[in-house]
Structure 1
């Protein structure tokens, strides 16, 4: 028997096909519609329903390219299960190159949302009802915040066996056991029973290849682990470094940052990572690691104030 078609929004997608659709969000003052772009791959054979999304923060462009490359390698005729792809969730922020929505709300603190709430709340509600509610697994793609870069990493509840297994399959350089924040997509989706991996990699407003390639490969590995696709023999790759905690080294003085630490570097507690200098190059204060671990994030800002986060170390 043919697999039943898949309903989303106002359309149904036949088994063995893919389809693009637009879910209405709001209207601009010009009268132009703002829509949530969605593409559905509905396989011929039964399997899980999974979503992949990017640009919940409008300045995070790495995930958009990851989604494009993942979809380019999929064939709905051979896919087992269904994949829902949303390459740009925060459409208004993405068009402006801004992390937030026009009212300065953080979309990733607005889930599960409300049909009659703020704009952020309405987008969150739409995403939950049309995407998350139909899926068992989700992959949420992010990058570092403004002027911060992140080592490719999975952040997830590693105490959950299914989540841990999928994070292991993704095989990013690092997987970090991360607390779930209220209002985040990860929190709201978990409350609905979904297993969610949050990917971090690269810097905002940049297409960092070092962050794109591991994410594309990692998503494909997760789909293979769920038996949705067949992958050619995966060459041996290093297992993820599992970090159970992390913390930021903060500036002890205001100055110009001369940072030697790089992403992925193994450091020991008390190791010198760089220095804060004045305009003449005189050292004001050395920067030291506050724990033993691996550098999973760093600031890219040359000027820092006392108290600013400089280096993120996973232990």
Structure 2
């Protein structure tokens, strides 16, 4: 990470001097009622020069657990750096967060419209402003997400296998799993990668839900990264992860062969063997009971927690190949 000269930072039209704290507004459009929408961005600067770390969450409006992680970083004062600058954006898709919906009011998924356009849809305009006015200041970005549609993700980091320079930071972060995944077209992660801005994407938990284990994993990982960069104040403890990261080369979904009532019988993060019973699908009348078995040996990194499933629904995300 570069050790930047500590000059005045011009951010979203505001001037922030070394040693200063400021909340600025990332505003794009009003609500349909003409009410203004304030999207706070919290900036904390040390008097000592150092890197700039950007924490983001809420790209999807229903992913509340990511918002909670960044909220805790702010509420506990972890975002006050020993050196450098920390920028926190707890909610990017404020419109979706207000309505507890994944998408923007225009129906678009913000994470599929980057780098955006100043004259495009509402989602596209937000993406453009984020890329043009926020991202250029960052030396490292940590972006928090959760699973969707009732599917609970084990705490994990995601980035493409080609980004080998992120392996060291991932080990420092200390999430239980690191999943190598391809960069998706027009995603925030892909756009930052093209701009040579290193980004760790954290996944954990599920939509409309806050889980303490997931939250702690995100907060503790962030503290370890800040300590690694020399930015964490000594008042905060940074514990080592209980076990090392498991790096995942490939994975697959185990899907429902039948529709019915579903219940998993293994816990998230479990290591299973091929043909182990990991769940069952039943009918409401007690006439049918189908046992879901592991397709291969591996770790369960996502579980569908919805009680009702249909044929073809994703039930479990299981690792198929680990990094050696």
Question: Under a length normalisation based on structure 1, what TM-score does the superposition of the two structures give?
Answer: 0.95
**Cα offsets for 1:236-265 (capped at 9, x unmatched):** 621111111111100011111132121011
1:266 aligns with 2:271: yes
Higher strand share: 1
Partner of residue 44, structure 2: 41
> Unmatched 5+ residue regions in structure 1?
none
1:66 aligns with 2:69: yes
Shift of 1:158: 4.1
Q: How does 1:1-315 map to 2 (within 5 A)?
A: 3-71=6-74, 72-74=76-78, 76=80, 79-230=82-233, 232=237, 234-235=239-240, 237-315=242-320
- CA distance in structure 2 between the aligned counterparts of 1:234 and 1:300, rounded to whole angstroms: 31
Q: Secondary structure at the residue paired with 1:221?
A: helix
Q: Quick one: structure 1 residues 273 and 131, their matched pair in 2 at CA, closer, same or farther if it must change by over 3 Å?
A: same
Contact persistence 1:15–1:44 (CA under 8 A): yes
Q: Secondary structure at the residue paired with 1:307?
A: coil
- CA distance in structure 2 between the aligned counterparts of 1:52 and 1:235, rounded to whole angstroms: 21
**Cα offsets for 1:1-27 (capped at 9, x unmatched):** x93111101111111121101122101
Shift of 1:142: 0.5
- CA distance in structure 2 between the aligned counterparts of 1:83 and 1:234, rounded to whole angstroms: 21
- CA distance in structure 1 between the aligned counterparts of 2:146 and 2:176, rounded to whole angstroms: 15
Contact persistence 1:259–1:273 (CA under 8 A): yes
Shift of 1:203: 1.6
Q: Quick one: structure 1 residues 135 and 235, their matched pair in 2 at CA, closer, same or farther if it must change by over 3 Å?
A: closer
- CA distance in structure 2 between the aligned counterparts of 1:51 and 1:95, rounded to whole angstroms: 23
Q: Quick one: structure 1 residues 155 and 43, their matched pair in 2 at CA, closer, same or farther if it must change by over 3 Å?
A: same
> Unmatched 5+ residue regions in structure 2?
none
Q: Quick one: structure 1 residues 75 and 49, their matched pair in 2 at CA, closer, same or farther if it must change by over 3 Å?
A: closer
Question: Under a length normalisation based on structure 2, what TM-score does the superposition of the two structures give?
Answer: 0.92
- CA distance in structure 1 between the aligned counterparts of 2:305 and 2:79, rounded to whole angstroms: 39
Shift of 1:273: 1.1
- CA distance in structure 2 between the aligned counterparts of 1:124 and 1:107, rounded to whole angstroms: 7
Aligned residue pair count? 313
- CA distance in structure 2 between the aligned counterparts of 1:81 and 1:209, rounded to whole angstroms: 29
